[in-house]
Structure 1
Amino acid sequence: MSLTKQTIKILIVDDQTTSRLLMRDALQQIGFANIPFAKDGEEALKMMMSSPAHIVVSDYNMPKLNGLQLLQAIRTYPATRITPFILLTGSGDREVLQRAVKLGVNNYLPKPVQPAALQKAIQAVTGNLA
């Protein structure tokens, strides 16, 4: 089965409800339909272990597991090792971004996320989807 915007599953991970809803709305405007969310990295990791998403879009600054810890955990499991991971960060902290790159992040975006930037980041990791 080839992936389309209707079948691809994008997991949103953010501890702020408003941010999760804004991201979901932006993804729906782009045409995606399967958009579960997790309120923190720990919940996201459990979700990825039981029913992996095709793409993870995660905030950096969260309780329990932050975005980098989640990325590192996802990269250690064979079933999720190559899952595209887009990191969202409110800080322009170069050290965070350098650590993310070392851990294998696929893309990153500054918060607040603009729908057009999100679409470009997803296209960068998936190519053009129908």
Structure 2
Amino acid sequence: MSIADKIRIMVVDDTSVSRALVVDALDQMGVRGVVIAKDGATALQTLTTQPVHLVLSDMNMPGLDGLGLLRRLRENKATSRIGFILITGSADKTLIERGRQFALNNYITKPFTVAQLRGAIEAVVGKLS
């Protein structure tokens, strides 16, 4: 059984179109264990009771943004080891450095291809197939 068959990934984005693009890309990779959250606060609440292996989170969301979500996950022992990939429209060095302070595993910039997303995920969890 491949990693793609076993892995559970949460997609966090406040925009339905962006969520759909990420979920479609995961589907093309053979990942079926996908959980969706519409914002950082909902993701945080869900992850404390339904942990996943990896979070793919948008950066810019109202309320709790991507880095805020990452920081909160790292502060909680139950969620501190969840892999985290930030999806951002602007990967400026300051943003990525701030993410690294909270053990950001990887990031990808929008727009992205399925191959780029696969590469970002595989750099964190290993080969999907």
**TM-score, normalising length from structure 2?**
0.95
Counterpart-to-counterpart distance in 1, 2:107 and 2:74: 16
Retained in 1: the 8 A contact 2:12–2:58? yes
Counterpart-to-counterpart distance in 1, 2:27 and 2:52: 16
Secondary structure, aligned partner of 2:127: coil
Counterpart-to-counterpart distance in 2, 1:34 and 1:84: 15
| Alpha-carbon offset, residue 3 of structure 1 | 6.8
Counterpart-to-counterpart distance in 2, 1:87 and 1:3: 24
- The aligned counterpart of 1:77 is 76
CA RMSD, Structure 1 to Structure 2 (Å): 1.3
Secondary structure, aligned partner of 2:70: helix
Counterpart-to-counterpart distance in 1, 2:4 and 2:10: 13
- The aligned counterpart of 2:29 is 30
- The aligned counterpart of 2:89 is 90
Distance 1:90 1:57, change over 3 A: same
Question: Over residues 54-87 of structure 1, what are the superposed CA-to-partner deviations in whole Å (9 max), with x where a residue is unaligned?
Answer: 1000000001100000000000111211111000
- The aligned counterpart of 1:16 is 15
- The aligned counterpart of 2:105 is 106
Give the letter aligned to residue 11 of structure 1.
M
| Alpha-carbon offset, residue 92 of structure 1 | 3.1
| Alpha-carbon offset, residue 93 of structure 1 | 2.3
| Alpha-carbon offset, residue 6 of structure 1 | 1.9
**Runs of at least 4 residues off by over 4 Å:** none
Secondary structure, aligned partner of 1:37: strand
| Alpha-carbon offset, residue 13 of structure 1 | 0.4
Which ranges in structure 1 are unaligned for 5 or more consecutive residues? none
1:125 lines up with 2:112 in the alignment: no
Question: Over residues 75-106 of structure 1, what are the superposed CA-to-partner deviations in whole Å (9 max), with x where a residue is unaligned?
Answer: 01112111110001101322111100111100
1:64 lines up with 2:48 in the alignment: no
Identity %: 43
Counterpart-to-counterpart distance in 2, 1:12 and 1:114: 16
Counterpart-to-counterpart distance in 2, 1:96 and 1:125: 19
